[in-house]
């Protein structure tokens, strides 16, 4: 190796580390500026710092708010323990979760039917009408459903299915309408029948999107759950428990149940994200990475 090339190698081995140090020194300043610029991505290390700052601010606020308006962490943990041992919180949670999962199970075949119905001229308009039910008032519909159902459980389930279903149907209809004509033509050019083309484009091809629409709207169902359980309290449920605590102005329990509902809601949502893996092609990006 010549003297020249040795010098060059040494320079190259030193230069990057020097540059790196300078870059690192500048980077945090740049990162701080970039954090306030729209659509400028930050490295994961910077994002972790931002998340920690958010958590610290949230905890700080929680500490600062008077106990009388927002109970502290200890009071909330105590309230959960009390609800669990004295008010059968576990059982009530199972009642609410059962109701929610039943709603989801009923909405899946409704989704498939909606997609098929939206593709047929004869039923296309009916889908629009059902989707527009989302503008109806819960009060009136609840009364009507009381006539057609027997028992508290079926009433609660039908209310959830009708209201969450209306939002889902509107979403699924938009999804079918948005399928490009070229995609349907492509299926036809392979010799597929209209039914086969519909299956490939709207059902199989959009299964992941269908699930995503269900995911978005079932969250609204979970949010409605407490109100619906309040309409028919005989079966119980977390909603009933919450309303009871609310009636007695037990703020610790109200916050404890709200936080529990929030965590369970997030876990259901996480379950939906995981469920999308049933469709391995969903979420694949260019280059084959997920």
Partner 1 sequence: MEYQVGERLLRAVVSLSFKTTQVLEDLEFEIYNTLGYGQIVALLGPSGIGKTQLFRCIAGLQVPTEGGIYINNHTEPVRQGEVGVVAQDYPLIESRTVLGNLVRAFEVSKKDVVGGKTGEKIAMEYLERFGLTRVVKNYPSQLSGGQRQRVAIIQQMMCSKHFLLMDEPFANLDILGKERARILITEMANAHELNTIIVTTHDIRMACATADRVILLGRDHDEAGNVTSGARVVGDYDLKALDLCWIPGVTETQKFADFVKAIEGQFASL
Contacts with partner 1, residue ranges (CB under 8 A): 182-183, 185-192, 196, 200, 204-205, 207, 279-281, 284-288
Torsion 38-43-47-50 (CA) sign: negative
**At what angle are helices 89-119 and 73-86 packed, to 10 degrees?**
90
Minimum CB distance to partner 1, residue 276 (Å): 13
Structure tokens at 228: 């619906």
Which residue number, 44 or 181, has a Cβ lying nearer to partner 1? 181
Which residue number, 24 or 189, has a Cβ lying nearer to partner 1? 189
DSSP 88: -
Minimum CB distance to partner 1, residue 200 (Å): 6
**At what angle are helices 152-177 and 207-231 packed, to 10 degrees?**
150
Which residue number, 136 or 284, has a Cβ lying nearer to partner 1? 284
Which residue number, 29 or 180, has a Cβ lying nearer to partner 1? 180
Alpha carbons 230 and 207: distance in angstroms, whole number: 34
Minimum CB distance to partner 1, residue 119 (Å): 17
Extract the runs of DSSP E, i.e. beta strands, from the chain: none
Listed in sequence order, the residues at least 6 apart from 90 whose beta carbon sits closer than 8 Å to its beta carbon are 84
Q: What percentage of the chain's residues is helix, strand, coil (to nearest 5)?
A: 80, 0, 20
Which residue number, 79 or 207, has a Cβ lying nearer to partner 1? 207
Minimum CB distance to partner 1, residue 76 (Å): 45
Alpha carbons 221 and 235: distance in angstroms, whole number: 18
Which residue number, 150 or 189, has a Cβ lying nearer to partner 1? 189
Structure tokens at 258: 């709200």
Minimum CB distance to partner 1, residue 212 (Å): 14
Minimum CB distance to partner 1, residue 189 (Å): 4
Minimum CB distance to partner 1, residue 290 (Å): 10
Which residue number, 28 or 195, has a Cβ lying nearer to partner 1? 195
**At what angle are helices 152-177 and 138-148 packed, to 10 degrees?**
120
């Amino acid at each position: 190796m010549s003297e020249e090339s040795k010098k060059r190698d040494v320079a190259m081995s030193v230069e990057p580390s020097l540059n790196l140090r300078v870059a690192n020194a500048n980077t945090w300043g740049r990162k701080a500026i970039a954090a306030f610029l729209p659509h400028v991505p930050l490295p994961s290390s910077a994002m972790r710092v931002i998340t920690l700052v958010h958590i610290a601010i949230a905890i700080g606020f929680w500490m600062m708010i008077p106990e009388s308006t927002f109970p502290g962490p200890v009071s909330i943990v105590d309230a959960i323990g009390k609800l669990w041992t004295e008010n059968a919180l576990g059982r009530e949670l199972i009642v609410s979760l059962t109701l929610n999962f039943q709603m989801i199970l009923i909405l899946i075949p409704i989704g498939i039917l909606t997609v098929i119905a939206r593709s047929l001229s004869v039923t296309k308009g009916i889908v629009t009408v059902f989707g527009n039910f989302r503008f109806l008032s819960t009060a009136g519909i609840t009364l009507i459903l009381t006539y057609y159902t027997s028992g508290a459980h079926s009433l609660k389930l039908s209310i959830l299915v009708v209201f969450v279903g209306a939002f889902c149907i509107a979403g699924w209809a938009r999804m079918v309408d948005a399928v490009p004509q070229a995609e349907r033509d492509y299926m036809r050019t392979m010799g597929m029948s209209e039914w086969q083309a519909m299956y490939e484009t709207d059902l199989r091809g959009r299964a992941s999107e269908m699930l995503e629409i269900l995911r978005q709207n079932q969250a609204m169902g979970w949010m409605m759950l407490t109100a619906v359980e309040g309409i028919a309290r005989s079966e119980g449920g977390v909603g009933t428990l919450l309303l009871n605590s609310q009636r007695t102005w037990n703020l610790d329990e109200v916050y404890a149940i709200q936080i529990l509902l929030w965590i369970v809601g997030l876990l259901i949502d996480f379950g939906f994200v995981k469920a999308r893996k049933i469709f391995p092609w969903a979420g694949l990006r260019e280059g084959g990475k997920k």
